[in-house]
Amino acid sequence: MKVLLLLGLVAVALCEPTKFVDFWKPDSPDLVTIGMNVDIHVPAAQLDMVFTILQQSGIEVKIMFENLQEAVEAQMDNKRATKAHDYTKYNNWATINDWVVSISSANADLISRQVIGNTYEGRPMHLLKIGKKTGSAKPAVFMDCGFHAREWITHAFCQWFINEAVSTYGSDPEMTNLLDRMDFLVLPVFNIDGYEYTWTKERSYLMWRKTRSKNSGSSCIGTDPNRNFDAGWCTTGASSNPCSETYCGSSIESEIESKNLANFIRSNKSIIKAYLTVHSYSQLLLFPYSYKYGLAADHSELLSVSQGAIAALRSLHGTRYTSGPGAVTIYPAAGGSDDWAYDLGVKYSYTFELRDEGRYGFLLPESQIKPTCEETMLAVKYIASYVLNNL
């Protein structure tokens, strides 16, 4: 009964363009299951209605933010104050784009930059290769951030990672060894159009998740890029409704951003040994499969590496992560880039879900950027070192 009422609410949530309920966790009402904790964002105008429905159904309600607007403003105090790039702040696309160019040229011995294609709205998708230039092909770890527009801590992490890598090369023995013997291929912002949208439009658009492409026959915009890959495409935990937050797209790799990424990985398959894709929030380290319950052929190795990584992460600030296959750990969801990369042959394929567990959710305060990035560095270095030692 409770579930049915919540599902009723869920149906209401899907009535675009007036969005009554914005799902934070899980990502879309399609993914709600019995017994699950659900985080939703309710616009003030719908609050009474939604609150009544939930109360009548006996669903336990806990208020996380009395006033989301205030929380947004608190988080973004310095949003307009500064244009200068800052690793401990959320930077907009223009600032990140300038930074990509400047950090690459300032570290020409360690970084090379290329564009793997343009986004739907025509923005260049910069990919940085970080590693000592040896003149021959090295094994590589591929990492992307910013698949989902509102997951701002992920964009911050990729920037942090690149800076940390080049500034600890030569002093930190682990990083030095990694960069001497392998390359990191980092795509700091995958869904640039979506990210830009969260910054430039009204505050209410801050919670945008998808790409910004038009859908024919619908006024709803965007596809969930993490439902758009060739891995059980659109079979489970994804929607064929363009208005859904988990819309799988009109076809596999219908999104130019997905196609650009997939093409790059396909053509560099022989050197790419690990694929890391960074999301937020929930404090999880997931690995295949998500499109099915069946375990990956490399399950026990993927599990033990994930356990080592989350232990390393926890050693710094005590942050607890859970690791496991996506389908059983959170929910089955097909079309993800992690499953696709794994089935393509990239064995060490992981999805990070960074801080927090829901206290701030997507509105993680800037004061948590530094500790979050520091601890995540340890997990990424752990995985990369493992990969290097097990080539």
Binding mask 277-296 for ligand ARG (x = CB under 6 A): --x------x---x------
The two beta strands, 140-145 and 183-187, are parallel
Catalytic residue among 245, 253, 353, 366: 353
- Determine if 255 is a binding residue for ligand ARG (CB under 6 A): no
The residue with its CB nearest to Zn ion is: 279
CA–CA gap between residue 170 and residue 179 (Å, rounded): 10
Nearer to ligand ARG, 54 or 207 (CB): 207
With residue 300 as reference, give the H or E element that holds it: helix 299-317
Nearer to ligand ARG, 99 or 352 (CB): 352
Which residues from 207-236 bind ligand ARG, rule CB under 6 A? 226
CA–CA gap between residue 59 and residue 12 (Å, rounded): 17
The residue with its CB nearest to ligand ARG is: 336
CA 157, 162, 165: angle at the middle one, nearest 5? 115
CA 15, 361, 359: angle at the middle one, nearest 5? 120
Binding mask 7-36 for ligand ARG (x = CB under 6 A): --------------------x---------
| Per-residue CA distances from 352 to 34, 100, 252, 278, 379 (Å) | 24, 22, 23, 5, 10
In the list Zn ion, ligand ARG, none, the entry touching 339 (Cβ below 5 to 8 angstroms by class) is ligand ARG
Which residues from 322-381 bind ligand ARG, rule CB under 6 A? 326, 333, 336, 338-339, 351
CA–CA gap between residue 93 and residue 103 (Å, rounded): 15
- Least separation in angstroms between residue 39's CB and ligand ARG is 12
Sign of CA dihedral 201, 9, 32, 344: negative
Length of the chain: 391
- Residue 226: CA count within 13 A, CB half-sphere: 27
In the list ligand ARG, Zn ion, none, the entry touching 252 (Cβ below 5 to 8 angstroms by class) is none
Nearer to ligand ARG, 193 or 338 (CB): 338
- Least separation in angstroms between residue 279's CB and ligand ARG is 5
Q: Which residues bind Zn ion (CB under 5 A)?
A: 148, 151, 279
Angle, to 10 degrees, between the axis of helix 2-13 and the axis of helix 47-56? 160
CA–CA gap between residue 387 and residue 7 (Å, rounded): 43
- Least separation in angstroms between residue 361's CB and Zn ion is 12
In the list Zn ion, ligand ARG, none, the entry touching 9 (Cβ below 5 to 8 angstroms by class) is none
CA–CA gap between residue 355 and residue 151 (Å, rounded): 10
In the list Zn ion, ligand ARG, none, the entry touching 188 (Cβ below 5 to 8 angstroms by class) is none
- Least separation in angstroms between residue 108's CB and ligand ARG is 35
In the list Zn ion, ligand ARG, none, the entry touching 150 (Cβ below 5 to 8 angstroms by class) is none
Nearer to ligand ARG, 27 or 357 (CB): 27
CA–CA gap between residue 1 and residue 289 (Å, rounded): 31
Do the Cβ atoms of 294 and 199 come closer than 8 Å? no
- Least separation in angstroms between residue 314's CB and ligand ARG is 21
Could you tell me which of 208, 192, 230 has the C-alpha nearest to residue 92?
A: 192
Nearer to ligand ARG, 27 or 144 (CB): 27
In the list Zn ion, ligand ARG, none, the entry touching 286 (Cβ below 5 to 8 angstroms by class) is ligand ARG
Whether 253 is catalytic is no
In the list ligand ARG, Zn ion, none, the entry touching 6 (Cβ below 5 to 8 angstroms by class) is none
- Least separation in angstroms between residue 338's CB and ligand ARG is 5
Phi, psi values for residue 117, rounded to 5°: 145, 175
* Per-state percent for the chain, helix, strand, coil, to nearest 5: 40, 15, 45
Binding mask 168-207 for ligand ARG (x = CB under 6 A): ----------------------------------------
Tokens of residue 353, six digits: 């879900």
Could you tell me which of 371, 376, 374 has the C-alpha nearest to residue 354?
A: 376
* Catalytic positions, written as ranges: 353
What is the contact surface with ligand ARG in residues (CB under 6 A)? 27, 226, 279, 286, 290, 326, 333, 336, 338-339, 351
